[in-house]
Amino acid sequence: MQSIDNLLITPDRSLRDALAAMSDGACNVLLLIDDAGRLRRTVTDGDLRRAILAGHGLDTDLGVLPDQAPKLVEPDSSSAAVLALMNAHGIDQVPTVDEDGRPVALHLRRELDQPVLLSTPHLAEHERDFVEQAFRTNWIAPIGPNVDAFERELASKVGMGHAAALSSGTAAIHLGLHLLGVEPGDRVFCSSLTFVATANPIRYLGAEPVFIDSEPETWNMSPAALSRALAAADAEGRLPKAIIPVGLYGQSPDMEPIIDLCHRYGVPILEDAAESLGAAYRGRAAGTFGRLGIYSFNGNKIITTSGGGMLVGDDPELIERARFLATQSREPAGHYEHQETGFNYRMSNILAGIGRGQLEVLDERVRQRRAVFERYVEGLEGVPGLDWMPEPASFHSTRWLTAMTIDSDRFGSDLEGLISHLADGRIEARRVWKPMHRQPLFKSAAYWPHHATSSVSDRLFETGVCLPSGSNLDSVQQERVIQRIRERARPSGRFWSSSTLSLG
Ligand SMILES: *Cc1c(COP(=O)(O)O)cnc(C)c1O
C-alpha cells in the first residue's frame, strides 16, 4: 500500500497540475476527490493522455474527466483479493475508502507482485568508500589494508584475539578442522540440524562425521545427546578430533554444558557461527567459545561481502598459520618455496572493504532482524498452532531468520500447503534445514538423538519453516506475509481438537 497524501487532487486543478503531481509523487495514478474529500474516481496517466488527445489543453481542469465509479476493496482485504480484483478489471491500482467514502489507501500491483525474499543483502553507507579506496590505491588483490583492518575490526567486535579473512565460511571450516589436526579416518562430531556446508569439510579431510541432535530449548546441539555420544566414543577409544556446534538462525547453542563435556574429554571445539554473528550467549559473542570459530559473509547472512568468511581464535600462532595455509602455504623465500599442501582461501581486498562497511552496521542489522521477528509475533497473535523458535533467558538471538513450527491440526494446513500458498503470493519461505543424518549423502554416518527414543531435529524439519526476515524487509511486504499466513490458518476460536471430537 502506498501513502496517499501526495496523490489527492481536486477537480479545479488542471491537467498540467495532475501531470506535475504524478511526476512529483513518482506514481502514475491520482485520486480525484470532491469538496467533502470523498473519492470521485482515479485518474491515471492514460486518462490524462486521452483528455489531451480529445482536444483539451493542459490548462483544462480535471472536472472535464467523466465520472467513473472507482473499483474499491475493503480496508482489510487480503493481497490475494486485491490482486484478483485487479486481474478481473485489468487495472494496476485499487483504492480503499473509509465509511464516508474518503480514500485511505492505494494498493499498487507492482507492490503486491514483487517477490518477498527470505534474506537479501542490505548495504549501508560506507562500503563504497572502502572499496573506492582499494581502487584508488590499486590495491584490488590479493590481500591488503582492507583485509588487515577487517580482521582487526571483526576480532575486536566479537572480543576474540585474532581473525583470518577467508573466501567463504566453508573454507574457514575446512581450514579450521585442518588446523585442529583432523585427518583421514578421524571422527568429527557435528550438529545434525544445519546447512550441509558445516559437514562437507569433514569429508574433504577424509574424516567421518557423527551427527548430534538438537535440543528443544535452543534448536541447537543437544548436550544430552553429545554426552552419550562422547561416553560411547570414549569407551570405544575413538574420541572425535573436533566438535562443531552450530548456531542456527541467529542463536548460540547452550555452550556451557557443551564446553564442560569437551573439557572432560579433551576435545577441541570449532564453533560454526555462520548464522549467528551478532548473537550473544551469557553476554559473550557467539563464535568465540571454541578454540576456533567461523563466520560467513555469504549474500544471505546478516552482513555480507557478497561471499566470504572469517576464522577467529585467541591463539595468534594458529591464526597466523591459517593465513599461511590459505595463501598456498608459501614459505618466506625469494622464490616460490613450498613444504606442505596449501589452499587458495584468502579474501580479496575489495571484498574486505565491503565487509568493513557492513561491520559498522552489524548492531543495527541485529535490531532490525529482531524487529522483524517482533512484528511477526504481533501480527500473527491468536493464529492457532504456531510456535516460535525459543530464545532462552541469557541468550540474545539476532533472529537472523524468523523460524517457527506449525502444528498442522491446530493451524489448519500442513507445512507444504502453507509454503506453496506463500509461494503463490510470491513470498519465499523455506523449510527448516533437513538434518544431515537424513541426507542420502551421509546415510552411513552415526547419529545421536536428544532422547534415545525421540529425535528433535526430525520434528523440527517436519514442522519448521523460516519466514522472510531481511533487515530491509519493509512493513508493507511483511504485512503481505502475515496476511497470507492468516488466510491459510483456521479461523481462531473455531477449532475443536481431534481429541475433543473423539470424546463424543
Ligand atoms: C552459510 C553457512 C555456512 C557456509 O558459509 P559460506 O560462506 O556460504 O561458505 C556454514 N555453516 C552454516 C550453518 C551456514 O549457514
> Tens of pLDDT along 274-330?
999 999 999 999 999 999 999 999 999 999 999 999 999 999 999 999 999 999 999
8 Å CB contact between 298 and 347: no
pLDDT of 363: 98
**Per-residue pLDDT reduced to its tens digit, 86-142:** 989 988 889 989 989 999 888 888 777 789 999 999 998 899 999 998 888 887 766
CATH 3.90.1150.10 residue ranges for the chain: 362-500
CB of 167 closer than 6 angstroms to any ligand 1 atom:
no
- The Cα 144–Cα 326 span in angstroms is 15
- Which residue's C-alpha comes closest to atom 11 of ligand 1? 198
Interhelix angle 475-488/415-424, nearest 10 degrees: 130
pTM of the entire predicted model: 0.82
- Which residue's C-alpha comes closest to atom 8 of ligand 1? 298
**Per-residue pLDDT reduced to its tens digit, 336-363:** 999 999 999 999 999 999 999 999 999 9
Class of domain 8-113: alpha beta
Residue 444, helix vs strand vs coil: coil
Which overall architecture, per CATH, does domain 362-500 show? Alpha-Beta Complex (3.90)
8 Å CB contact between 220 and 191: yes
Q: What share of the chain is helix, strand, coil (3-state, %, to 5)?
A: 40, 20, 40
* Candidate of 275, 302, 398, 469 to mutate for ligand 1, largest count of ligand atoms within 8 Å of Cβ: 275
CB of 275 closer than 6 angstroms to any ligand 1 atom:
yes
CATH 3.40.640.10 residue ranges for the chain: 127-359
- Which residue's C-alpha comes closest to atom 5 of ligand 1? 169
Q: What is the mean pLDDT of residues 393-399?
A: 97
- The Cα 381–Cα 378 span in angstroms is 5
**β-bridge pairing 187-191 and 242-244:** parallel
Which residues make beta-bridge pairs with 166? Answer: 309, 346
**β-bridge pairing 208-212 and 8-9:** unpaired
Q: What is the mean pLDDT of residues 174-201?
A: 98
Which residues make beta-bridge pairs with 272? Answer: 246, 294
Using a 10 angstrom Cβ sphere, with 0-12 exposed, 13-18 middle and 19 or more buried, the burial of residue 69 is exposed
Residue 501's CB is within 10 A of a number of other CB atoms, namely 8
8 Å CB contact between 242 and 180: yes
**Per-residue pLDDT reduced to its tens digit, 34-81:** 999 999 999 999 999 999 999 999 999 999 999 888 888 887 777 778
Q: Which fold has domain 127-359?
A: Aspartate Aminotransferase; domain 2 (3.40.640)
pLDDT of 77: 76
CB of 197 closer than 6 angstroms to any ligand 1 atom:
yes
- The Cα 251–Cα 375 span in angstroms is 19
